[in-house]
Chain A
Amino acid sequence: MAREKFKTLTEPMYYILLALFEERRGIDIMDVVQQISEKRVSVGPGTLYAMLQKFEDNDIIVTTRTEGRQKWYIITERGKQMLLGEMERQRQMLQDGEHVLSKKQ
């Protein structure tokens, strides 16, 4: 179900999941995404909040602790498999593209 729903990941989804390979406080993810993407991708707080809820509902990430209104999250095994699958898909796309273009040149 989750795999079907998140079969392909959008850019913000991809970077949020990458950021959660380490346990992180929800509000810190926005900065981490900017760091990982070298400021190319920025995720708005509304987007991030909605995404975290969806990921958690689908067992892609899990809350590790809560302090007041702050929550910490980490990616689950299922989320890791999904992210690795997406990376493989993109690698394949890149390879196919390079293959076609090299033939043309």
Chain B
Amino acid sequence: MAEEKTVHKHYHYNETDDFASYLEQMAKEGWEFEEWTSGLLFRKAKPADVHYAVDIFPRAKNMDERPEQDTLEFSEYCRAAGWRMVDSKGKFCIFRRIRDDAVPIVSDEERFSNVTKAEAFQRIFMFAFMAVYLVLFLWIMFDVGFPDRTLSKYWHGIVLVWIVLSVMETGKLISFIRWRIMAGRQFSSGEKVYYGNHNRPHWSEGDLAGILIGVFLIALAISDGAVYLAIMLAVVLAIVLIMRIYLGHGRPSRRNKIFIMILITIIVIAIPFMIHLMMK
């Protein structure tokens, strides 16, 4: 029997209660959460009633792959109060209760504020990102200087994919706004706010969708006769995949991740020129 397993689940910042419940359920079934890798890594253990707290640490950055200095310092305070930090990623911190008299990590007010700020930033940023690129793609496609692009299957494909992704992102933003209004009312009337959405399956669909979209665009470029473009896309897709695997398993520090991201950006920008030179 396998001693460990990795589960690919994704939670939003306003789903910390769902996340903690899931970890507690896994512990009951004999799977103890160990750390983040490419997904959530669980190790086989004796079935136990474990109490987890999933909290948002505002000083952490969304890009953090592992606990940074501030988070480690914060974890010392939590340990003294009866919570052992198991792991952290982005602004998520996962704690396991080690004392029955452990006091809550933050007050209800702070929790509400930390969760809503973190999730609002994430949703608005992603929505703006998708919208800006959608406008850019449409502009490139319909710009009078590039009439061939209005007929190109490849550009139709890009715009179609981007519209689908933008609609999905808009759905997430609307869903968050609805949750925020409802939770805000509950909070103001003194009711307990539930941080989660029982109905959402929490699939971690991002990587699979990314691969499918990449392959779809490569196929479109080939059928459009754009060989350079197809090769370029294939190389970019391979680099992005290697980077994703490295980030999941290597878990670089914030500083190293910034360095890697800059390096990848330079490589991706340089690829078209390199391929063009090679094909000459």
Determine the chain A residues whose CB is within 8 A of the CB of B55 once the complex forms: 46
Output the nearest chain B residue to A26 by Cβ-Cβ distance. Answer: B77
Complex: A43 Cα to B78 Cα, angstroms? 11
| Nearest-Cβ distance from residue A45 to partner chain B, whole angstroms | 4
How many residues on the A side are at the interface (Cβ–Cβ under 8 A)?
17
Q: Which of the segments B12-20, B68-76, B218-226 contacts the partner chain?
A: B68-76
- Cross-interface CB contact of A46 among B72, B76, B80, B106, cutoff 8 Å: B106
Complex: A49 Cα to B226 Cα, angstroms? 56
Output the nearest chain A residue to B107 by Cβ-Cβ distance. Answer: A47
User: Which residues from 25 to 66 on chain A have a C-beta closer than 8 Å to any C-beta of chain B?
Assistant: 26-28, 30, 42-50, 53
Interface string of B49-80 (1 = CB under 8 A from A): 00000010111000000000100111011101
Q: Flag if A27 contacts B106 (CB, 8 Å).
A: no
Determine chain B's interface SS by DSSP, over half rule.
mixed
A105 CB–B CB distance under 8 Å: no
Residue of A26, A44, A47 most packed against chain B (CB within 10 A): A44
- The residues of B with any CB-CB pair to A shorter than 8 Å are 55, 57-59, 69, 72-74, 76-78, 80-81, 83, 103-107, 110
- What are some 22 contacts across the A-B interface (CB < 8 A)? A26-B76, A27-B77, A27-B80, A28-B80, A30-B81, A30-B103, A42-B103, A43-B103, A44-B103, A44-B105, A45-B78, A45-B81, A45-B83, A45-B103, A46-B55, A47-B107, A50-B106, A50-B110, A53-B59, A69-B69, A69-B73, A69-B76
